[in-house]
Structure 1
């Protein structure tokens, strides 16, 4: 048979005693103004979660590149990159086609070489219509200094054909349309949209 509960006895052994060695909690002061970074939205939370999963070597590499870019504001890609290419005196669509060509040519090619070749592209007033009238060998003569020039000549010829036949001669302004063109992968499509259309699309490939 259970003994009746003695309240005084229970309290004697169960009264809370503060730990004298326990550190007092730090006082946290909050700013009266809360920014967007302090209250992340759902998409930002997902991005932060992904960031945590990056391998350590990638994080270290990113920090090194970031530090280098802060010290060296002007690099070849800044001075001679795709954003500096194309004949702005041409109609917008033809200018954008030259811009697309410059990004295609820049793949696995130094910026200095791409810049030299683009000077020839601009001098020859290359447009979609003109490429349609040229042979691959004629295109190759203009772009011969770049790496993988034969493949790139084929890609340029093919791009002009598809743009003419499938997009009414207008350079596509959507990622999904651009990557349908052989030779235009995610990197080329992203760069083109970022420079030509000021679009920065993420997590689409």
Structure 2
């Protein structure tokens, strides 16, 4: 086709025939099959009386040929008399948003149904994270309720410091957010869980005997070396002293502790059938066992609360916080003064709570008072 020849459009064809197309108004289509025509019918207009033109409408969906090839019948179409405005232009589809939400058209309104947790089913990590957050919230609410109950039940306690309960709650918060060596390597973690209960009690006692003036890391490593030999009172008795000392080194005073351990196993075999005593009096009578070890051993090995285990950490913190009527020089003095006023329900947690706090924040030298929640109510914060 030559470039200067214009291609005749449908409008030009109608214009040559003398027919004029003058759109005057939008006409609502009725849902009637005889009113629906195809696009091919537009060019076959019939003239009415007095040269008038009878208009026939067509389907905007498909041509007749396309629908006949697809085996479809005439589709009824309804058009609404409503001009198109920019506000009704469909926005770009967001595939991610479509996955997270379902849109339902109800009249002129669009209802969006959102998935609360879209990835929980497909992602176990997200589900675990949500579970942890929910558990933390439940734990926080439970702790809040317990705090209110504690404040009510402990209101009549005659404590040396009036803000002792605030000290305790702040230490609980700080301990829950920061782990300490005692949490993973304390004496309660040193026994072999695969051994029988009698052997586990014996290993608890041995760990306590080694822990005196020794860091938890050193005690834990020494107990691991001992557990490789599956220690029982009889095996420790038959073990040469030099070999036992090598296993205990570098525990503080390891030679003295090896000697005490040898003497202790003799008593346990002869008097307690290779088990340990089930009372504080007999435990203290064993070589190298003091009151602190005895009370902690009763709690860990026998699950009995007989007293507060006061070591150097508990002793230091009680004096710094003013939990004793007057300064004490020995841990045993602190234990006696503390047990006179501290409610019995708190005895079981004081040692573990204060030891971890003393290992991480309220350290012996240069305590981290800036990180402590008690810095405004601690009598030793500015000393």
> For the superposition of Structure 1 and Structure 2, which TM-score range results when normalised by the shorter chain?
0.5 to 0.7
Q: How far is 1:136 from its partner?
A: 2.3
The TM-score with structure 1 as length reference comes to: 0.67
Q: What's the CA shift for 1:125?
A: 1.0
Q: Which of 109, 128, 140 matches 2:214?
A: 109
Could you say which residue in structure 2 is the equivalent of 1:133?
238
Aligned residue number for residue 3 of structure 1 = none
Q: What's the offset of the Cα at 1:39?
A: 6.6
- Residue number in structure 1 paired with 2:201: 96
Determine the structure 2 residue equivalent to 1:187.
292
Offset, 1:148: 0.9
SS of 1:157's equivalent?
helix
CA distance in 2, matches of 1:108, 1:79: 18
Q: Which residue does the alignment assign to 2:271? A: 166
2-structure distance, mates of 1:85, 1:91: 14
Q: CA deviation at 1:110?
A: 1.2
Where does 1:15-34 land on structure 2 (aligned, <5 Å)?
A: none
CA contact (8 A) 2:151 2:165 kept: no
SS at match of 2:252: coil
Q: Match for residue 186 of structure 2?
A: 81
Structure 2 contact 260–288 (Cα < 8 Å) conserved: yes
Structure 1 residue aligned with 2:174:
68
Instruction: Give the equivalent residue in structure 2 for 1:154.
Output: 259
Greater fraction strand: 2
Mean Cα displacement is larger for which, 178-187 or 192-201?
192-201
- 1:59, CA displacement in angstroms? 9.1
How far off is 1:138 after superposition?
2.0
Contact 2:261 2:287 in 1 (8 A): no
Cα distance between partner residues in 2 of 1:131 and 1:36: 46
Contact 2:201 2:275 in 1 (8 A): no
Higher percent of residues as helix: 1
Q: Which runs of 5+ in 2 are unaligned?
A: 1-148, 309-334, 337-383
Stretches of 4+ moved more than 4 A in 1? 35-40, 58-67
The residue number in structure 2 matching 1:28 is none
CA distance in 2: counterparts of 1:137 and 1:195, whole angstroms:
30
Aligned to 2:250: 145
Q: Determine the C-alpha separation between the residues in 2 that align with 1:136 and 1:144.
A: 12
In the alignment, the residues of structure 1 paired with residue 283 and residue 162 of structure 2 have an alpha-carbon distance, to the nearest angstrom, of: 31
Higher relative contact order at CA 8 Å, sep ≥6: structure 1 or structure 2? 1
What is the CA–CA distance in structure 1 between the aligned matches of 2:165 and 2:150, rounded to whole Å? Answer: 23
Do the aligned residues in 1 keep the contact of 2:278 with 2:302 (CA within 8 Å)?
Answer: yes
Task: Measure, in 2, the Cα distance between the counterparts of 1:62 and 1:147.
Answer: 31
Matched, 1:177 2:282: yes
Aligned length: 162
The equivalent of 1:197 in structure 2 is 302
* Cα deviation, residue 145, structure 1: 1.5
